[in-house]
A and B are shown apart, each in its own frame.
Chain A
Amino acid sequence: MLATPTPSLTASLTGDSLDNRWRDRLETVLAAGAAAGASLVEVFLESTDHIGLLAEQERITNVSPAFGRGAGLRVFLGDRDGFVSTNDLSEAGLLQALDQALGMLGLTRSNLGAHGFPGLASLRDHGASKENWLQHCPGLEESTARLLEATALLDHHGEHFQARRGSYARDWQEVLVAASDGTFARDIRLHQSVGINALAADGDHRASLGRRYGSSGRPDDLRQWDAQASAVDLCASARSMLYADYVDAGTYPVVLANRFGGVIFHEACGHLLETTQVERGTTPFADKVGDTIAHEAVTAVDEGLSDGAFGSLSMDDEGMEPERTVLIENGVLQRFLSDRAGELRTGHARTGSGRRQSHNFAAASRMRNTFIAAGPHSPEQLIGSVDRGLYCKSMGGGSVGPTGQFNFAVEEGYLIEDGQLTKPVKGATLIGEAKEVMPRISMCANDLELAAGFCGSVSGSIFVTVGQPHIKVDTITVGGR
């Protein structure tokens, strides 16, 4: 494959860890902020090491390493806050950022000490057992070989492919969180994702399909990835969709497949259960805790605990350990996801959900692994209950607007006729509002599975999982031709 030596690009930052050695510098900054009158000062330090790979057809066409460091400083005065990020981690650099954040709230370091700072607690080091993760990840030679294997498998199992791609991303992050309430915590995170996609073309017929898999905290994950099964699955979908007709627009009952079908709950309802939405006044559920907001068949959970799941974490980006948060139980709204600012401003207790893409963002209440719980039915029972409708086997992306309206592209769909799956259809978009659709989820199957994804919102793009069993929505608007 390669005629030249194949160096490894991992571990480029070793020997310069974010750990207890930062205590003095951080305490100096936090003490200065507290003395200036801040209610709370928080410093988020991070060090990152990323690599992205792309294989196209039989070639590796892109290898993109990146590494960096930075800090995000957040100062609270009551429920107001100022946030500053910087790449300068020297004491002078951090104090300069602190001055800027204090200034946003009308504070200066020349103020007399209004608040005491008792010092940082003992370091809660969630990263101690993860020091060797980066070294145990596959090196470039192994990673690139796996991607080339995947594109070869697509060629082997598929037809009419005009483009075949495999991609891999490994994101290693070391974080240290310190706050003037004594919080002092460290973690190491490792996220890996691998994807394949293909464009099939035959005359005027075209279909583009993709699959993506992701994990956290599993250095061996790329090695264990079943590229063969992934390629076979994608090729089967491509064969179905290449000659599919466009779906007729209308209002239908819809059965959504498990795994990534959960993106609809994530976008349409999950975001509305974050305290950032309560703060903005953009969720219809703000005062609905204890009320029925969904069909009694629906129980929904957000947690950061599932082993190896893309959205799992040992601590959130504010140093709090995550919990399992039941959002909706048998249709009744139970909890909101909350971060430090959300707790201050809305009264909803923190749930270990303060997350951010990087030091350039202040943490916000965000989802982790979010799913609709399994129900009692088989998937066949759901499909069998529909006379004429749409089966959404694979979802594309989607979004939810500021008034709660959502829309999702269906990547792979099939008509349901007389309780049976019949012909494939493309071009479908599901449209609705969470408030109206949640009561129409009338059946949940017993095949809950999670799928990795990326979620972009107020604090940047973060790793999450979505999930659900097969579910049936009694009626939903389907955009088509």
Chain B
Amino acid sequence: MANSTSLHASDLAEQLQTLASELGVSRWDLGAACSTDTSVQVDRGEAKQLKGAQRSSITVRAWNGHGLVGITSTTDLSPAGLARALGGARDASAYGNPDDTPGFSPLATAPLAPLDQPLSEPRGILELLETLKQAEAELLGRHQAISTVPYNGLAQRSSQRIYLNSEGACREQQLSTASLYLYARAEEDGRKPRSSGAVRLAYGAEQLDVAGCIEEAAERTIQHLDYAPIATGHYTCVFSPEAFLDLIGAFSSLFNARAVLDGVSLSQRDSLGTQLAVPFLSIHDNGLHPGNIGATSFDGEGTPVARLPLVEGGFLRHFLHSEATARAFAVAPTGHAGLGAKVSVGPHWYEIGPAGSSDEQTGARGLDRFSQDGIVWIDSLSALHAGVKASQGSFSLPFDGWLIQGGEARSIEAATVAGDIRAVLKGLLGFEGEPKVTPDGVCPMVWVEGLSITGDA
């Protein structure tokens, strides 16, 4: 893989060990990353912006004689920069939290699951530009109302990440990825502009499903051209896989041991084993799923990534852990940690679906959103950063979607959906269709009863 800024793990380890000896640091670890990126954007047949970037960074942690940890990050990978970073981490360790000190993951040298991630040679930027120009032209040609594709981009990245520690752990992963997004704007005389789009990810630009992305962006945009306001009220809602994954992702603190320990999760330490959702819902975190483009094989502390059941048959089964939270819960780290003095925890990629194949494990069968009147089909949610109160469980979110009447779907002009995640999880009616692989996870369509919709009608 062509990568002008590649790091050498063994050299880095040797440098750090020498510096650590000089600085009197006996226990340290390090996360490093470097990447080479190219990306293009176009505007009505012309190049809008062409970008390239070479980035490198390291984060170093050092433990002091009291067992407290400090951290420093830098983009300066020169010998002087590394020395400054390690010295900074050592100094910061004076402020380490004695109540919650991270340690090395006991799994930092455990075997990693193999990932099938082909490395692609990057394409020339002018080749990317040509591909995107053609994609934009095709999308503009799909409907006369599509006047621009104001948000678009084709990007590729070659990257490398490393985890090292003073006890000999040495993790390294190389990756190439590419992404395409097309977000079209359509406008008809006397009507408001409408907008929608699509995204595709792959391990290389040549593997991107460009045609599929154009098709989906066109279809979604055109489907919103004929719109009408919706009356405020309570509706049965059908979430698209993308929308439901976004909603679950916004409330991931439900499964986050760090948030539980910090008292900002809706879950408590003793919530494991309690009924969180309807009995036919299961949620797993599976960063190793082949649909997870860009999957990482180890987390920020070097712990292997693995599939983890979070909700099985509606019961909360496991939390996501770092080394420190796992120690607090007397379990093993789960491979969901970042790297810090206070280590963050986060999900990788969700698998959401029925708990099994029996009637009680699937919810209502044969659901078809076009067979009932007054169904709100939620295609995508917006502004999750603002409209979700994760620690309270409430959400109020703008969405794009359709109201189904008489077997026909008509786009909703502008509306929000509001509710409480606990009520949503216990108000699921069932699933529709096959699970769909998306950038954030895999999920079928999800039916939820009685959500509050605010509209303009």
Contacts and interface: CB of A to CB of B under 8 A. Distances in A.
Interface of A: 2-7, 9, 12, 54, 56, 59-70, 80-88, 96-97, 100-101, 103-106, 140, 144, 162-163, 199, 206-208, 246, 249-251, 279-282, 360, 362, 396-399, 401-405, 407-409, 426-429, 431, 433, 477-481
Contacts of A68: 57, 73-76
A347 B85 CA distance: 46
B394 interface: yes
Nearest to A72: B53
Nearest to A54: B342
B88 interface: yes
Nearest to B384: A399
Contacts of A97: 52, 54
Contacts of A405: 398, 414
A64 B73 contact: yes
B64 interface: yes
Given A65-B71, A427-B394, A403 B47 contact: no
Contacts of B66: 3-4
B126 interface: yes
A481 B307 CA distance: 36
A335 B253 CA distance: 44
Nearest to A208: B391
Nearest to B69: A63
Contacts of B73: 64-68
A265 B266 CA distance: 33
Interface in B116-149: 125-126, 147-148
B49 interface: yes
Given A84-B53, A360-B53, A399-B382, 4 more contacts: A63-B70, A407-B387, A427-B394, A481-B452
A56 to B, nearest CB: 7
B94 A64 contact: no
A431 B416 contact: yes
A75 to B, nearest CB: 9
Nearest to B52: A84
A43 to B, nearest CB: 15
B452 A249 contact: yes
Sorting the interface of chain B by its residue count into under 10, 10 to 19, 20 to 34 or 35 or more gives: 35 or more
Contact of B76 (A2, A59, A87, A281): A87
A360 B55 contact: yes
A399 B385 CA distance: 9
B435 interface: no
B158 interface: no
A64 B341 contact: yes
A180 to B, nearest CB: 18
Contacts of B391: 163, 199, 206, 208
B8 interface: no
Interface string B55-82: 1110000001010101111111100000
Nearest to A103: B125
A249 B74 contact: no
A426 B389 CA distance: 11
Contact of B52 (A83, A396, A399): A83
Main secondary structure of the interface of A (DSSP, over half): strand
Nearest to A358: B75
Contacts of A12: 84, 88
Nearest to B72: A65
A396 B125 CA distance: 40
A68 B91 CA distance: 18
B456 A402 contact: no
Given A12-B84, A249-B418, A429-B418, A404 B263 contact: no
Contacts of A60: 95, 97
B219 interface: no
Contacts of A360: 53, 55
A246 B262 CA distance: 26
Contacts of B263: 162-163, 199
Contact of B148 (A66, A81, A87, A280): A280
Contacts of A87: 5, 54-56, 75-77
A7 B342 CA distance: 20
A104 B52 contact: yes
A83 B452 contact: no
Nearest to B53: A85
A399 B416 CA distance: 13
A281 B150 contact: yes
Nearest to B89: A65
Contact of B383 (A63, A69, A246, A399): A399
Interface stretch (B190-198, B312-320, B437-445): B190-198
Interface string B91-108: 110111101100000000
A100 B52 contact: yes
Contacts of A206: 391-393
Given A80-B46, A362-B49, A427-B418, A249 B232 contact: yes
B342 A62 contact: yes
B157 interface: no
Given A67-B74, A199-B264, A281-B147, A81 B49 contact: yes
B396 A479 contact: yes
Interface in B259-293: 262-264
A144 B95 contact: yes
A70 B56 CA distance: 10
B321 interface: no
A83 B54 CA distance: 12
Interface in B402-450: 414-416, 418-419
Contacts of A85: 51-55
Given A65-B73, A199-B264, A398-B383, A427 B396 contact: yes
A69 B76 contact: yes
Contacts of B70: 63
A429 B392 CA distance: 16
B329 interface: no
Contact of B125 (A4, A63, A104): A104
A342 to B, nearest CB: 13
B50 interface: yes
The listed residue with most A CB atoms (<10 A of its CB), out of B77, B84, B194, B232, is B232
Contacts of A6: 94-95
Given A399-B382, A431-B454, A7 B94 contact: yes
B386 interface: yes
Contacts of B262: 56, 163
B209 interface: no
B377 interface: no
A402 B151 contact: yes
Contacts of B100: 59, 61
B4 to A, nearest CB: 8
Contact of A4 (B53, B94, B185): B94
Contacts of B126: 103-104, 106
Contacts of B195: 401-403
A399 B46 CA distance: 28
B183 interface: yes
B92 A431 contact: no
A182 B197 CA distance: 42
Contact of B340 (A7, A64, A81): A64
B95 A66 contact: no
B216 interface: no
Given A5-B94, A403-B192, A480 B383 contact: no
B43 interface: yes
B52 A207 contact: no
A407 B385 CA distance: 11
Contacts of A105: 50
Nearest to A57: B263
B50 A81 contact: yes
B150 A282 contact: yes
A381 B178 CA distance: 56
A162 B4 CA distance: 49
Contacts of A59: 97, 99-100
A199 B265 CA distance: 10
Contacts of B64: 4
A407 B185 contact: no
B202 to A, nearest CB: 22
A97 B54 CA distance: 9
